[in-house]
Amino acid sequence: MPEITYKTDLDNVDWAEMKTTLRQDAFDNGRSPEQLKISFENSYAACVAYANNRIVGTARVLSDGVCNAYLVDVWTLSAYRRQRVATTMIQKLLSRLKGQHVYLFTDDVPEFYAKLGFVEQPIGMGQVIETWLINES
């Protein structure tokens, strides 16, 4: 397996490649390459994992920089799973969030997040305002 490298700046990220890779790996939530760019660039911190110069993982966090943060877009390309890629990305993000409460939503992999120290804190609530992804971005 090639070496995995982790970038926490977003210089030279190929957003079209990210979109294509997410779609091929069945983790595309509908954002265009431009919307991916905006969501990552508007995040408090982000991490993109690379192998052979190809994107193999993402994670990002929204935060007010003081007390509240929200972890999203955690994904490892299927062929690279179970090699601690997501763990490494999240640890890099959490190191930027000292003193903050970090929340997330998962319906698939609570065991994965539990290993990183997260505990269930029900109940989460949410709603989509008007139509998903139709906005001013």
Ligand X SMILES: CC(C)(COP(=O)(O)OP(=O)(O)OC[C@H]1O[C@@H](n2cnc3c(N)ncnc32)[C@H](O)[C@@H]1OP(=O)(O)O)[C@@H](O)C(=O)NCCC(=O)NCCS
CB 96 within 8 Å of CB 45:
yes
> From the CB of 102, what's the least distance to ligand X, in Å?
13
Place of tokens 């982000």: 46
Q: Counting contacts by CB under 6 A, is residue 18 touching ligand X?
A: no
Q: Which of 74, 93, 94, 97 binds ligand X (CB under 6 A)?
A: 74
Q: Closest by alpha carbon to 40, among 75, 15, 64?
A: 15
Site pattern 92..131 for ligand X (x: CB under 6 A) = --------------x-xx-xx--x----------------
Q: Could you report how far apart the first and last alpha carbons of the chain are, in Å?
A: 38
Per CB under 6 A, residues contacting ligand X are 27, 74-76, 81-87, 106, 108-109, 111-112, 115
